[in-house]
Amino acid sequence: MALTGRLRAGLLAAAGAAAVLALGVASATASAVSFTKPVKLRNSPPKGELQGGEPSVAFDRDGKHVYVVAPGGGENGGVGFWRSANAGHTFTKGRSLGSLLGGGDSDVSVGPDHTVYIADLEVVANALCRSHDYGKTFDSNCDTGIATNQTGIESDREWVSPSETNKSLVYFSYHDITTETPLVYRSDSAGAPGSFAPCGPVLAPGSEAEANYVPGGTNQGKLSIGSHGDLYVPILEPTNPATLTSPYNNFYMAISRHGCQPGGAPFHDVTVYSNPHANLANIFPYVVARGNTVYAAFTGISGKRHPQGRHGGHNHYGVYLLRSTDGGRHWSKPITVDLGWFKANALASLDVGKRPNQVAMGFYRTRTSKDPNRDDDVWKYEVATSRNGGRDFKYTRITHDAIHYGQICNLGILCTGGRNLLDFSSVGINPRTGCVMAVFAGDPYDTPKNGRDDEAAPYVSRETHGCFG
């Protein structure tokens, strides 16, 4: 949702250094992939109270339990919550939990012991809610709206990231709301109240990321935990000097080998991609690590496309994937994921399967205009899957009819309209079956003809054929 004053405006492209991979346009292959018709989750707009903008999704390692959250919960808190015990075939009726003071942003993750972690942004801090019974109940009074487990003071766009192997280890990351300084905290007590301590500086002193840091000028995505506990934190920044309206044209990866330690050494910041003509923040950057293979993604203007090219030129809002095969030290040039006839794209998300060559991306796309801020745009939702690390993709149109009409504003709170979908969509891959699940916001009931402006609802679509396995 992003409450900060300078937000999000474009996308990125790719990096380069030694051992870079070639820039590519991912080719479409014959599709043998199919998804279910999108289902609107219960107790959501237009008649329900639990809005569905920027929904997050998380699978349990058992593959059966899957959870969805979105900010702006109802009477008992700031987060809307839905759970499934049958791999997403059906979901319970949505309910609210967290903090009555929350609802700014939300996130959900699952630990190796099946603990469900939900974060609810209150701005002054965050409510952290934990469930030890597969999401049936939550601790710290989160079921009542008087959440008592508080962490991350003076916060914006928080993420919670438990270790996949250590049930006691949980990371909490965000940037503070005043200066947008990226921060990472660590708990070795499974996120117990008062257990989070700050790690060393995320922007390493003397690094290019630190040199380009401008107060109010960072965009921090959710961190990923790789092999040996390595941490990867994706960060977008403008080039210094910059103003609040300067485009984010630098993509950095803050890396902490073997996990950060409270008060320990700073992260090592690597340049993933930098281009003076880029605009990389539509909206959040992504990173997912599988062994030594690490993927990054962004939506926006790469600054590299040819002005007369089939993809629309320098000002094209596209979807891009970058790949590292050496643990994030060096990065490929950006791989173009969106197809040429998608005139503009927005709010892309990324996940990777059990094998490092299995990649899934979900995003909104329009064939109406090249400008995602046009009132006459008509949007549908697309999923692209690859079995060879992004060299080729299969494309599936998840929504056959429009899922959103009008603009998708990419300027955060600077927007004057087009904010119904908020700032991201989500894709997740079932760890047991390899099937992709797309979870995204939609408001197809708000049409140009009826003039309605109800909040968006969360929609879910499951892959039924062509799963990674």
- Asked if residues 73 and 119 have their Cβ atoms less than 8 Å apart, the reply is no
pLDDT at 310 over 90: no
Whether residue 11 lies inside any domain: the answer is no
- Asked if residues 12 and 285 have their Cβ atoms less than 8 Å apart, the reply is yes
pLDDT at 30 over 60: no
**Cα distance between residue 134 and residue 114, in whole Å:** 7
Beta strands 335-336 and 24-25 are parallel
Whether residue 4 lies inside any domain: the answer is no
The two three-digit tokens of residue 374, written as one number = 């046009």
Whether residue 3 lies inside any domain: the answer is no
Parent domain of 162: 24-465
**Cα distance between residue 11 and residue 249, in whole Å:** 8
Residue type, 78: G
**Cα distance between residue 204 and residue 452, in whole Å:** 48
Q: How far is CA 270 from the centre of its chain?
A: 20
Beta strands 286-290 and 116-121 are unpaired
Give the number of other CB atoms < 10 A from CB of residue 363: 28
- Of 185-189, 200-204, 261-265, the one with minimum mean pLDDT is 261-265
Give the number of other CB atoms < 10 A from CB of residue 341: 9
Whether residue 15 lies inside any domain: the answer is no
Mean pLDDT for the stretch of residues 230-240? 98
**Cα distance between residue 4 and residue 9, in whole Å:** 13
Q: Residue 283: is the preceding peptide bond cis (ω within 30°)?
A: yes
Q: How far is CA 181 from the centre of its chain?
A: 19
pLDDT confidence of residue 417: 83
Mean pLDDT for the stretch of residues 342-368? 97
What confidence tier does 311 reach under pLDDT thresholds 50, 70, 90?
very low
Residue 207's H or E segment, with its range, is: none
User: pLDDT tens, 96-108?
Assistant: 999 999 999 999 9
User: pLDDT tens, 436-449?
Assistant: 999 999 999 999 99
**Cα distance between residue 224 and residue 351, in whole Å:** 11
| Percent of the chain clearing pLDDT 90 (strictly above) | 86
Whether residue 17 lies inside any domain: the answer is no
**Cα distance between residue 298 and residue 10, in whole Å:** 9
pLDDT confidence of residue 27: 53
**Cα distance between residue 355 and residue 376, in whole Å:** 41
pLDDT at 313 over 80: no
pLDDT at 9 over 50: no
Q: What share of the chain is helix, strand, coil (3-state, %, to 5)?
A: 0, 40, 60
Mean pLDDT for the stretch of residues 223-235? 96
Whether residue 80 lies inside any domain: the answer is yes
Chain position carrying tokens 């051992």:
19
pLDDT confidence of residue 117: 98
Q: Which residues contact 182 (CB under 8 A, 6 or more apart)?
A: 173, 175, 202, 203, 218, 220, 233, 235, 254
pLDDT confidence of residue 74: 83
Whether residue 162 lies inside any domain: the answer is yes
Whether residue 5 lies inside any domain: the answer is no
What confidence tier does 20 reach under pLDDT thresholds 50, 70, 90?
very low
CATH of residue 325: 2.120.10.10
pLDDT confidence of residue 10: 32
pLDDT confidence of residue 213: 97
pLDDT confidence of residue 306: 61
What confidence tier does 451 reach under pLDDT thresholds 50, 70, 90?
very high
User: pLDDT tens, 245-289?
Assistant: 899 999 999 999 999 999 999 999 999 999 999 999 999 999 999
Give the count of domains, the chain: 1
User: pLDDT tens, 106-159?
Assistant: 999 999 999 999 999 999 999 999 999 999 999 999 999 999 999 999 999 999
Residue type, 382: E
pLDDT confidence of residue 92: 98
* CA nearest neighbour of 306 among 19, 22, 23: 23
What confidence tier does 5 reach under pLDDT thresholds 50, 70, 90?
very low
* CA nearest neighbour of 234 among 278, 264, 269, 205: 269
